[in-house]
Structure 1
Amino acid sequence: MPPHRLPAPPGLKGFLLCCTGLGVGVAWDALTGVYPSGWIGWLTLALALGLYAVQISLAFGDRPAQGRWVLGALAVLVTGMGLAYGSGWLYMFPLVAVACALVVPFGRALQVALLALAAVTASVVWFNGDGISPIMAFSWGSFSVGVVVGFIVHLHTVIAELEHTRRLLAEAAVAEERLRFSRDLHDLLGHTLSVIVVKAEAVRRLAVRDPGRAAGQAADIESVGRQALTEVREAVTGYREGTLATELQRARETLAAAGVAVVVRRAGEPPSAGAEALLCWVVREAVTNILRHSTAAEAVFAVEATAEGTVLTVRDDGVPKDSGRPPGSGLRGLSERLAGVGGRVTAGPLPEGGFEVRAVLRSAGS
């Protein structure tokens, strides 16, 4: 049986004070001359109360297993003195029940231990020549006290575990929010910086032979930079929203600047606002992958409503620049984002050539 370690004591003073009240009977016997010598009563009472105090400190400390040995010694002492002198020592059996409830795990083990203690109590009371009423009173009193204390300790333990779980859940929520935020920034900045790089290359190529177009591309870089600042601020506050149509238009303009022709196809009912926001992330990641890792001349963006939900497919006809490269963190983050709402993302080369990113968002009724 594993050690029964308790959390921070629920009213430790109360457990210590109960021994004072239950020891009054033994103290009275010592004062009225029940024992052959007065010191016997005082010494054994001090020993019993000391064992009880040590057992409590062990139960709430870091050595709960050793408390069982102390409990055994306390039970033997109370039983022996009860058999020898009876009287006030009979009131010490509830003290043993309290100590038992602090050491034995709540449940069947505690029930068996308390039933055994009740049987011992009844036997000691019967041995002292008392009738059925005292037998029932002392045995039932010991059992019920142990059950009540055991339930209180068990309830306190459950509350402590729930509080610990609440703290863990709060820490997990913070970690999840940090992951979401880092994923958003990665997708935002990765896409934006890729666009800036493409347009900067266009400016470099056009600077000599067509300054006018070069100036236009430079203006686009400024616009993209300002838009990125706005998006980062909105991501920080958690209110970033966008439409799929706007994102597809941005994708068309961005890829056109890189020499990639874009075809957009839409069919079926338009997705919900929440689905559009997620599909915008898919479009950004697909555009980023084409700009960074592909030699495509054409890309097709297809959005359609099917039986399995809203499907966004992005296909290009290029050959990946680094086909042996494992999937990047962008696709992994995208998969985690969609998996959180029951969607999925697949990405890989096509048998006939090219590359495909396919995202599926299940509709509310599917």
Structure 2
Amino acid sequence: MSFAEKITFGDAEGRPSRRRRLIGISVGLVYLVFPITDILGGTLTGARAVWAGVLLFAFLASFIATVVANKSMFEQSPLTYPLLGVTSVLGVVGATVFGGSWLSLPVYTVVLYGFTLPPVWAVFAVVANLAVVVGAGLVNHDGADTIIVLGLQVVTLGVLFISVRNTRALTVKLRLAQDEMARLAATEERLRIARDLHDLLGHSLSLIVLKSELAGRLSEDAPHVHKEISDIETVARKALVEVREAVTGYRRRSLPEELDNARAVLRAAGVAAEVRISGTPLPGMLDGLFGWSVREGTTNVVRHSRATRCEIKVTFDGGHATLEIMDNGTGGEGPYEMGSGLRGLNERVAGAGGTVEAGPAPGGGHRLRVLVPTEACA
């Protein structure tokens, strides 16, 4: 699920709620009672009142449609910006032509700007609406108090809803980071249990095997006893193999899991990730080795590269398996040196008959390339 999909106008779990949005905006729409009063109270008469009613109805319909059409704070539908444009034009026309209480229409549009536009654009839009309120007020000879009050509302509400949008984004980023920390903590705990299991049971079972071998040699003159001891040795060896297989399963960093982890970590760090895979699945040994490589490479991208984009490419053509992690970062000034993590990875890959290349990429950024021949898969 993308980051944008998790941030919506909806409930805590990210599901959009049109009812909630409509209830929220209905409270603010109470201030439209003043333009309505101008129409019904006789301040506007004749054709002017008719056109005012048509404009107000169109503004209200466009405003509600913009709110409902918006998928989320960070994911707009194709209709969002056209509807926002229509709403803005209607607000400017109403304020300019009728003045007075109609200067409140741009106040409503800045609320939409705060929720739908990127912060920089929203700030410019707020400033533009402030200019509309002041200019329209002066053109219609409205009182200074009306212009000042509504101008302050444009600024304060615009800043408020831009802040609400940013706060919601930070809240969801924090939630994603907490989820990732919990997942990593669970992974580390699983590895700790695996280590303890191997150290405790592995040592004890190995000792039982050795003692059984010794007892077997000492009981060669007693066939029945020798047979029972041999059975103990067989069971102990089998249990030792099963423990090691279980520990290997706990410790293995599988490629699909690590790719999912890499996407989450890079996204949380603000790095756009692109993963391309061809020719997989990899054989078991290579799957674990490449999973380890993805984790090490991703960690380096997050910690050192200062990148905004990262591409992870895995290919397996039957002759060789290749992993490439490329970023557009600018970190690591000076001569490139392998850290302890990459040196450890280099040793593991070399043990499998492969090679590791790490350093600046020809087109800029950095690249980690792991190449392992097919013979290592046997």
| TM-score, normalised relative to structure 1 | 0.52
Alignment partners' CA distance in 2, 1:4 and 1:95: 25
The counterpart of 2:211, out of the listed 190, 199, 211, is 199
Give the Cα–Cα distance (whole angstroms) in 1 for the partners of residues 46 and 154 of structure 2. Answer: 28
SS of the aligned residue for 2:118 comes to coil
Deviation at 1:194, TM superposition (A): 2.4
Q: Which has the larger radius of gyration?
A: 1
- 1:148 is matched with 160
For residues 205 and 133 of structure 1, the distance between their equivalents in structure 2, rounded to whole angstroms, comes to: 106
Higher relative contact order (CA 8 A, sep 6+): 1
Equivalent residues in 2 for 1:45-56 (5 A)?
45-56=56-67
Q: Which amino acid aligns with 1:22?
A: Y
Q: Among residues 101, 118, 140, which one is paired with 2:130 in the alignment? A: 118
Give the aligned partner of residue 85 of structure 1: 98
User: Given the alignment, which residue of 91, 112, 129 partners 1:99?
Assistant: 112
Q: Quick one: which amino acid aligns to residue 8 of structure 2? A: P
- Residue from 116, 136, 153 that aligns with 2:148: 136
C-alpha separation in 2, matches of 1:140 and 1:76: 21
Q: CA deviation at 1:58?
A: 3.6
Cα pair distance change 1:50/1:182, threshold 3 Å: farther
Q: Is the 8 A contact 1:58 1:64 kept in 2?
A: yes
Q: How does 1:287-302 map to 2 (within 5 A)?
A: none
1:32 is aligned with what amino acid?
G
8 Å CA contact 1:9–1:60 kept in 2: the answer is no
Structure 1: gaps (5+ residues): 229-327, 333-341, 348-366
**Given residue 115 of structure 2, which amino acid in structure 1 is its aligned partner?**
L
Calculate percent identity across the aligned residue pairs. 23
Partner residue of 2:324? none
1:76 counterpart (68, 89, 93): 89
- C-alpha deviation, 1:185, in angstroms: 1.7
Runs of 4+ in 1 over 6 A off after TM superposition: none
Q: Which residue in 1 is equivalent to 2:76?
A: 63
Instruction: Kindly indicate whether the alpha-carbon contact (under 8 Å) linking 2:126 and 2:155 is maintained by their aligned counterparts in 1.
Output: yes
| Aligned partner letter, 2:106 | F
Note if contact 2:22-2:68 (Cα within 8 Å) is conserved in structure 1: no
Q: Residue deviations 1:259-292, cap 9 Å, x none?
A: xxxxxxxxxxxxxxxxxxxxxxxxxxxxxxxxxx
CA distance in 1, matches of 2:4, 2:108: 19
1:151-193 Cα deviation digits (max 9, x unpaired): 2332233223222322222222222212221232233333333
Could you say if the C-alpha distance between residues 50 and 183 of structure 1 is closer, same or farther in structure 2, counting changes exceeding 3 Å? farther
Q: Secondary structure at the match of 2:141?
A: coil
Tell me whether 1:26 sits opposite 2:31 in the alignment: no
CA distance in 1, matches of 2:168, 2:92: 30
Q: Count how many residue pairs are aligned between Structure 1 and Structure 2.
A: 238
Q: How does 1:264-279 map to 2 (within 5 A)?
A: none
- Out of 184, 191, 195, the residue aligned to residue 179 of structure 1 is 191
Relative distance call for 1:77 and 1:132 in structure 2 (3 A) is same
1:80 partner amino acid: V
* 2: CA distance, partners of 1:139 / 1:20: 18
Whether 1:36 aligns to 2:57 is no
Residue 99 of structure 1: CA displacement? Answer: 1.0
CA distance in 1, matches of 2:165, 2:34: 27
1:4 and 1:120, CA in 2 relative to 1: closer, same or farther beyond 3 A?
farther
What secondary structure, in the 3-state scheme, does the structure 2 residue paired with 1:23 have? helix
Where does residue 8 of structure 2 map in the other structure? 7
The 1:183–1:43 alpha-carbon spacing in structure 2 relative to 1, beyond 3 Å, is farther
Aligned 8 A contact 1:98 1:149 in 2: yes
Aligned pair partner of 1:162 in 169, 174, 181: 174
**Aligned residue type for 2:164:** I
Per-residue deviation, residues 214-237 of structure 1 (Å, max 9, x unmatched):
79x89x98xx99xx9xxxxxxxxx
- Aligned-residue offset at 1:96: 0.9
- One-letter code aligned to 2:21: L
- The offset of 1:57, in angstroms, is 2.6
Shift of 1:102: 0.8
**Partner Cα separation in structure 1 for residue 194 and residue 59 of structure 2:** 61
Q: Which runs of 5+ in 2 are unaligned?
A: 12-19, 241-284, 290-339, 349-378
Quick one: distance in 2 between partners of 1:4 and 1:90?
A: 34
SS at match of 1:208: coil
Verify: 1:16 aligned to 2:17, yes or no.
Answer: no
Q: Is the 8 A contact 2:70 2:76 kept in 1?
A: yes
Q: Is the Cα–Cα contact under 8 Å of residues 100 and 142 in structure 2 kept in the other structure?
A: no
Q: Residue 46 of structure 2: SS of its match in structure 1?
A: coil
Cα distance change, pair 126–166 in 1 and its aligned pair in 2 (3 A): same
Deviation at 1:4, TM superposition (A): 7.8
